[in-house]
Amino acid sequence: MNQSLPKLLTILLPRSGCLPYAREMLAHLPLFQHKIYVSAYATEAVPKDSHKVRTYRNGLEFIFHSLWYLPLLLWQINKDFKNGHHTVYFPTFHHWNLVILLLAKWKGKRSIYTVHNGKLHAGEDSLLNQKLQNWCIMLADELIFLTKYVERQTIESLPIRGKTHLILHSLLELPGLQFIHRQLPTHPKILFLGRIERYKGLELLLEAISGIPEAHISGLTIAGKAAYPILLHAGLKNIHLINKRSTESEIVELLETHDILVLPYLDATQSGILTLAIRAGLPCVITRVGGLPEQLEEQEAVFVVPTSEGIRRGIHDLIQQPNLYAAINKKLRLKANDPGWEKAGEKLTTIILKTLPSQ
């Protein structure tokens, strides 16, 4: 590590979720000495040379570890401040972020906070999460938004004192995931991928699929851990439900072996799954909600209204038009080559440098 580089302290404590985003952002910040705190219980890969912290895995651990390990972490962070760390970067939400942010404010340090969701989605009704998120947003010195939609939504709902910046969410990567030049098969396989929450609109997709003749598709795969019971009525055939969190290799296989990804969301800020589909060259049918239209241009997907009939029409139009399918795949190839992380890293580097004390 180059000791002459400015220091950056990063708090990255979630066990899963936005860790791939955080890894990519940190990998594109080469102009800093990094000290990164991560959860010892992380279920996904974390940046190398990170410092592991015992966070929590359940409600009981949250109570006891917040009383024991959180104070130890605050003591260590205070030492970091004394050792020249002037700026704290929060790439994603965690319940302990607010206390750490308050310590930074008390010690006169600067904070950079990334807002993935300004408001919780329908079905994610945790008052504690929303309150903690709101206070972090209101106290941070610099706010990073990933879509204009979330930036506008947050500004309209909260009194913000910090500076706001838009740095678009670039394309996530997975080991082994490569772009595929695709042609529409006679009987395409449909895919729904990702954690299943009520705002994801799975019921709309199931209703839409019931209106498509069985001879036109070879089936629907639903792959993701469900947050509520999924009911598949007897009239639906060729539905394959994988009710668990998929591994990275399983996600790659699903993207490779299916022909159309459907995002039937009722609400969305941005979608990491969508960025993986772009990497794989997988044409998508997407509801026109939230920040999703900011991730793809009009000709790069089939956009539909968030109704079962709209989704059915979108799938039908795509599977009946091989030329449209091929054209979208070609557009996605250009999208997949976009150097988005480099641009994002440059923007964030500029923001960080402005928070540092003058030499």
Quick: pLDDT tens for 22-69: 999 999 999 999 999 999 999 888 998 899 999 999 999 999 999 999
Summarize the confidence of residues 276-292 as an average pLDDT.
96
Structure tokens at 61: 């651990």
Strands 142-145 and 163-166: parallel
> Which element (helix H / strand E) includes 31?
none
Residues 6+ apart with CB under 8 A from 81: 104, 107, 109
- CATH 3.40.50.2000 domain extents, the chain: 7-170+339-355, 189-336
What pLDDT shows up at residue 90? 98
- 235 pLDDT more than 80: no
pLDDT band at 122 (very low <50, low <70, confident <90, very high): low
- Residue type present at position 122: A
Max Cα distance, the chain (Å):
70
Residue 40 and residue 24: Cα distance in Å, rounded?
20
Residue 125 and residue 204: Cα distance in Å, rounded?
21
Q: Write down the CATH superfamily of domain 189-336.
A: Glycogen Phosphorylase B; (3.40.50.2000)
What pLDDT shows up at residue 78? 97
pTM: 0.88
Element counts in the chain: helices (H) and strands (E): 11, 13
CATH (residue range 7-170+339-355)? 3.40.50.2000
- Each residue of 167-177: pLDDT tens digit? 988 898 888 99
